[in-house]
Amino acid sequence: MAELKIGIVEDELVIARTIAGTLEELGYTHCGPAISYTEALEMLDADKPDLLLLDIQLAGRKDGFDVAEQLNETYKLPFIFLTANSDFETIDRAKKVKPHAYIVKPFTKEELYAAIEIAFHNFTGNQAGSGKPAASAARNYIFVKDGYAFRKVFFDELLYMESEANYVLLHLTSQKKVMIRSTISDFMEQLEPARFIRIHRSFAVNAHFIDDIFPNELSIQGEKLPIGKSYREELLRALGIRGDN
């Protein structure tokens, strides 16, 4: 599966290189940087990014607002303003072109990651039939907050999830556990729906690791997890099991 590709429009090349390095650390591919309005449009046509990181101040007469107008009118692409400007006038102009996020420099890796994921998720959620892949379907892993860092968790190492109030406990194949702040429903929206299946109000599993299915529970890597009555039929259907015999 292709990774999410982020286009960089930034006329300060030192900052552009820093952004590119941060994107690589987060697991994204990138294109650019474009330093002007013209280069930005050329990059959009040639590289076809999934989302644009857009500086407001660019080289040349036209600025990031002009690029944003083209994104809205022609390319129908989500974009995030990255700018050192946070004055009322700039923000008021920004509101008119409806960016999917607005980040004031300097920013952290965590802030950039959160803005990209939320912006792309909200954009694709509003683009029925657009053909764009959801962020979760763009790669075979996900970054989750683990303490003060973001940890990469591959789908192949995510065994099952357990809901604990407003938290989700991720059980990994290595027998390690990662606690994240989220509801299980919200977290599952970032995963592959064909692979990760809800089996109970408090549990969801990676279907690749299911060993046996019993009337009221299933076994996964030696552990028994309950199957809720309202989830059993959908579980069997997702696994291609006909009937309940």
Q: What is the pLDDT of residues 136-157, one digit of tens each?
A: 444 688 888 776 677 788 899 9
Per-residue confidence band for 245, with pLDDT thresholds at 50, 70 and 90:
low
Task: Answer whether residue 134 shows pLDDT above 50.
Answer: no
Encoded tokens for 164: 């604990």
Percent of the chain with pLDDT over 70: 90
Per-residue confidence band for 125, with pLDDT thresholds at 50, 70 and 90:
low
pLDDT at 187: 87
**Nearest-angstrom CA–CA distance, 131 and 240:** 26
pLDDT, tens digit, for every residue of 157-210? 999 999 987 889 999 999 999 888 888 988 888 888 889 999 999 999 999 999
pLDDT at 207: 94
pLDDT, tens digit, for every residue of 76-111? 889 999 999 889 999 999 999 999 999 999 899 989
Task: Answer whether residue 1 shows pLDDT above 70.
Answer: no
Nearest to 58 by CA among 103, 94, 13, 98: 13
**Nearest-angstrom CA–CA distance, 169 and 167:** 7
Per-residue confidence band for 243, with pLDDT thresholds at 50, 70 and 90:
low
Instruction: State the chain's mean pLDDT as an integer.
Output: 87
User: Do strands 51-54 and 29-34 pair parallel, antiparallel, or not at all (unpaired)?
Assistant: unpaired
Angle between helices 109-125 and 13-25 in degrees, nearest 10: 70
Per-residue confidence band for 27, with pLDDT thresholds at 50, 70 and 90:
confident
> Which domains, from first to last, does the chain contain?
5-134 (3.40.50.2300), 140-238 (2.40.50.1020)
Q: Which residues contact 74 (CB under 8 A, 6 or more apart)?
A: none
pTM (two decimals): 0.56
For residue 25, how many other CB atoms are within 10 A of its CB? 14
**Nearest-angstrom CA–CA distance, 154 and 64:** 35
Q: Which residues contact 61 (CB under 8 A, 6 or more apart)?
A: 37
pLDDT, tens digit, for every residue of 35-67? 999 999 999 999 999 999 999 999 999 999 999
Helix (H, G, I), strand (E, B) or coil at 162: strand
Q: Which residues contact 153 (CB under 8 A, 6 or more apart)?
A: 141, 142, 143, 144, 170, 172, 178
Rg (alpha carbons) of the chain, rounded to whole number: 21
